[in-house]
Amino acid sequence: MKQIFYRILALLVGLWIPACSSAPEKPELEEQRIFRITHADSAGRMVSEIWTAPKLESLGTREISSEYFDQAMHTSDSRFSAISFSKLVKEFALKGGEDAVLLNCFDDYQGILSLDDVYRYDLRLATKIKLMSQNYKPDWLNPLLILVPDGKRPPFQERFMTANIRELKFVRLNDYYAPLRKIAGNSPEAQEGLEIFKNNCLFCHSLKGRGGNKGVRLIKAYDLSNGAEKKKFLADFKKTHHKDNPDKQDVEQFVTDENLDRIMELLSKAGR
């Protein structure tokens, strides 16, 4: 009797295992996410479209490497599945003078790129990120990711490292930067500070309603008309933006001490 029972049990187990193994695998993070693309329609109204990773990849993906990414992240041999950013842009009829794309991210980071840069450097959008096993992956490093392909040499700046993108929104650069240019005024130092700030800092630290909110609002956190506060600002920057910080956001590599002086001049004017 026991032998018959065990044979029946083995048969049932044999039937059950293939049924379990044929269950669909859970989609990866990249496949679960949805992305929004916002643009003006033919009547000039802003409309949003929902895109998924498979829809983006239907434009054609390539597996590529990026020396630019590896240099910025202090990694090696990273690989990406990526689409042509310019090919995506051509899917939309931009009739309102839009010359840039705002990159709103899941973690309140906000990048911005001119369409001129998209075409000039043949920028890509990574839909999948493959780091070598020994490389630590911070929480913010998710698709969509702006990617500089090998062979292109844009300036080495934070603005070409935007990741975790949830929305691409077509805008006009003049409109976007207008409140910041007003702050800089005619001061050459503040104007230089503005260029550095908007290429490396604005994405986390908003100013006059522009930029991201991932980091603190600097003009509220520091009174940069005060010498002691300036020293504190510099010390805090060095402490939180070096290459070994937990988030692996090494902004220090993009910004020199002289650059920081110019940034403080801009923020001091903004605070006043």
Cα dihedral sign, 46-47-53-56: negative
Asked if 190 contacts 59 with a C-beta cutoff of 8 angstroms, the reply is: no
Residue ranges of the alpha helices (H) in 25-143? Answer: 29-32, 53-57, 67-73, 85-89, 115-120
What superfamily would CATH give domain 29-171?
Answer: Oxidoreductase, molybdopterin-binding domain (3.90.420.10)
Check residue 31 and give its pLDDT: 55
Structure tokens at 13: 């187990």
Bridge partner list, 36: 50, 167
Angle made by CA atoms 113, 116, 121, in degrees to the nearest 5: 85
What percent of the chain stands above pLDDT 90? Answer: 63
DSSP letter assigned to residue 210: B
Angle made by CA atoms 14, 20, 25, in degrees to the nearest 5: 150
Sites in the chain below the pLDDT cut of 70: 1-32, 246-248
Domain borders along the chain are: 29-171, 175-271
Per residue in 182-197, pLDDT (tens digit) is 988 888 989 999 999 9
DSSP letter assigned to residue 144: S
Per residue in 112-168, pLDDT (tens digit) is 999 999 999 999 999 999 998 777 889 999 999 999 999 999 999 999 999 999 999
| Interacting residues of 201 by C-beta distance below 8 A, sequence separation 6+ | 158, 218, 251, 255, 263
Check residue 28 and give its pLDDT: 53
CA 93/CA 42 separation, integer angstroms: 8
Angle made by CA atoms 104, 44, 84, in degrees to the nearest 5: 45
Q: In a 10 Å sphere around its CB, with 0-12 CB exposed, 13-18 middle and 19+ buried, how is residue 172 labelled?
A: middle
CA 259 to chain centre: 22
Check residue 70 and give its pLDDT: 95
Asked if 213 contacts 108 with a C-beta cutoff of 8 angstroms, the reply is: yes
Structure tokens at 11: 């048969």
| Interacting residues of 171 by C-beta distance below 8 A, sequence separation 6+ | 98, 100, 101, 102, 112
The model's pTM:
0.83
